[in-house]
A = this chain, B = another copy of it.
Amino acid sequence: MLKIAFIGLGKMGFPMAGRLCDAGHDVGVYNRTASKAEPLVTRGATVLESVSDAARYGDVVLTMLENDAALSAVALRDDGLVAGMNRGGIHVAMGTHSIKLIEALVKAHDNAGLRFVSAPVLGRPPAAEAGQLGIIAGGAPDVVDTCQPLFEAMGRRTYAGGSEPVGAAVAKIVNNFILACSIEAMGEGFALGRKCGLPAESLYQILTDGLFGAPAYKIYGKIIADEDYFNQPGFSATTGLKDVLLALAAGEGAAVPLPSANICRDRLLSAIASGHADADWSVMAHEQARVSGL
């Protein structure tokens, strides 16, 4: 049976690793703050002491890290995965990362005789706990097949992200970018409606009852209709900007102009300039209202 190492036990990584344990896999876990690994021991996990240990432990190493800097350090440093994994080993990066880093990792793993898969996930911590994530897997088909039992332990569905890891990586980026565009469009639409005397609640009903009856519009339309940007930020303006910049950087690399992403970028910068860096990223709509004289 495959031995698995799991690196990164944050809000998403912890429940994902837990699902793998519960499914009976042999799982070694590593987290920079070691204490976070302890609760997994009772579920069968082996606590590992270092990235090097993880590299040696797993036939498959899964990483669920928060940003490029963390993944780059774990994978590419002298004592990192690429240097330490056994030839033929598989590294599956499950975080949301830039195309540039994914391309660099593809090359580095290839040079080292390792296999690399990008498998970003859709869903939030409760979905991770319930094993209900969407998983977008990109990489060589045989390697993705090998990982499929692991994906099944963590997710409700695996999407074919293509035979190159960048395909899967960009899918997650595009998903988040389109969400930003939805919020921006609602911000503009609600501002126009309000200035013309249309009750925000009516507009919300009209949209979500019809063409836009989906979580993106239900969740963010509600926040915008209620102008409730500051109480319980789920995803901050700063984090939203990071995601939009990932889309723009991907566009720069692939020579794809993204005018809608530009608008989201500018709106988020303006929100941040107004002191709303920590508000929910739908504060974009608040900025739109402001430049509309509301």
Which A residues lie at the B interface, using CB under 8 A? Answer: 99, 122, 134, 136, 138, 157, 159-164, 166-171, 173-175, 177-179, 181-182, 184-186, 188-193, 195-199, 202-203, 205-207, 209-217, 241, 245, 247, 250-252, 254-263, 265-267, 269-270, 272-275, 287-288, 291-293
Which of B198, B205, B215, B291 is close to A210, meaning CB atoms less than 8 Å apart? B215
Chain B residues positioned under 8 Å from A136 (CB to CB): 202, 206
A211-B179, A291-B287 known; A195 vs B262 contact (CB < 8 Å) = no
A170, closest chain B residue (CB): B196
Secondary structure dominating the interface of A: helix
| Complex interface: chain B residues within 8 A of A262 (CB) | 259, 262-263, 265-266
Q: How many copies does the complex hold?
A: 4
User: Do A185 and B182 have beta carbons less than 8 Å apart?
Assistant: yes
A174 to B263, CA, bound (A): 18
Q: Which residues of B contact A205 (CB under 8 A)?
A: 159
Question: A270 to B258, Cβ gap below 8 A?
Answer: no
Q: Is the Cβ of A188 less than 8 Å from the Cβ of B266?
A: no
Task: Give Cα A292–Cα B273 distance, bound, in whole angstroms.
Answer: 6
Taking A164-B196, A167-B198, A192-B258 as given, write out 6 further A-B residue pairs in contact, using a Cβ cutoff of 8 Å, ordered by the A residue number. Answer: A167-B202, A174-B190, A182-B185, A196-B254, A256-B269, A274-B291
A196 touches B269 (CB 8 A): no
| Interchain CA distance A122-B162 in the complex, whole Å | 38
A293 proximity list for chain B (CB < 8 A): 255, 270, 272-275
- Is the pair A213, B215 in contact by a Cβ cutoff of 8 Å? yes
Complexed CA–CA distance, A217 and B138 (Å): 23
Query: Which of A122, A159, A181, A273 has the largest number of chain B CB atoms within 10 A?
Result: A273
User: Are B260 and A181 in contact, CB atoms less than 8 angstroms apart?
Assistant: yes
**How many angstroms between the C-alpha atoms of A275 and B269 in the bound complex?**
23
